[in-house]
């Protein structure tokens, strides 16, 4: 895990992160780009890899690699829509075939141009639905979230943890018989 240029948690780039997930076409990284956009970061710039607009030709689907003009947080990216609109990106390649993307341990090479990728993030094109009505954030994730600072724990006051002060005091009391 690393922090992006906007100080958000992203995955550190490795071959395993970009590699296909299985033998079925639906598990291939190129197929995931039907429903997701891939963001890459070097130590100074952010790039976007997405399907190129328009129908596929006889050679297959085309992909675009664009340099992001502004580095926006994820909320800002979603606000403008995915793939990122043309006024926010500078096209580097607009008609690249997936076979032209050469992934290595240090990053990406395409048409003779090298990019030293440090971080990576796959973002779904459609925003994920919000938590169900009536459930808090922790409950929607299975109740693993701690209460917010200053908020009471569920059921009122928090009881001391089992085995903490209560167990130690009980053991101490048992040893002080006269």
Domain-located, residue 163: no
- Domain range for residue 35? 2-124
Residue 46 within a domain: yes
Q: What is the pLDDT of residue 75?
A: 95
Share of the chain above pLDDT 70, in %: 69
Q: Is 7 helix (H, G, I), strand (E, B) or coil?
A: coil
The tens digit of pLDDT for each residue in 133-152 reads 655 444 444 444 444 444 44
Is residue 120 assigned to a domain? yes
52-73 tens-digit pLDDT: 987 666 667 899 999 999 999 9
Determine, yes or no, domain membership for 101: yes
Q: What was the pLDDT predicted at 128? A: 63
Give the single-character DSSP code of 155.
T
Q: CB under 8 Å to 69, separation ≥6 — which residues? A: 88, 89, 90
Task: Please choose, from the candidates 58, 39, 47, 55, the residue with its C-alpha nearest in 3D space to the C-alpha of residue 93.
Answer: 47
Would you state the structure tokens that stand for residue 166, as one six-digit string? 């209560």
User: Total structural domains in the chain?
Assistant: 1
What count of residues does the chain have?
A: 178
- Number of Cβ within 10 Å of residue 82's Cβ equals 17
């Amino acid at each position: 895990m690393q922090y992006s240029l906007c100080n958000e948690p992203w995955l550190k780039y490795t071959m395993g992160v970009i590699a296909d997930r299985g033998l079925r076409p639906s598990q291939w990284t190129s197929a995931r780009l039907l429903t997701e956009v891939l963001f890459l970061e070097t130590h100074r710039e952010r790039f976007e890899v997405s399907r190129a607009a328009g129908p596929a030709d006889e050679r297959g689907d085309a992909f675009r690699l664009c340099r992001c003009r502004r580095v926006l947080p994820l909320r800002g990216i979603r606000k403008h829509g995915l793939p990122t609109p043309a006024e926010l990106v500078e096209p580097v390649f607009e008609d690249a075939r997936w076979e032209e993307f050469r992934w290595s341990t240090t990053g990406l090479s395409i048409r003779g141009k090298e990019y030293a990728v440090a971080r990576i993030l796959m973002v779904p094109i459609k925003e994920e639905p919000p938590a169900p009505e009536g459930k808090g954030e922790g409950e929607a994730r299975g109740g693993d979230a701690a209460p917010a600072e200053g908020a009471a724990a569920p059921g009122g006051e928090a009881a001391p943890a089992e085995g903490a002060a209560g167990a130690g005091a009980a053991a101490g009391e048992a040893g002080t018989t006269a």
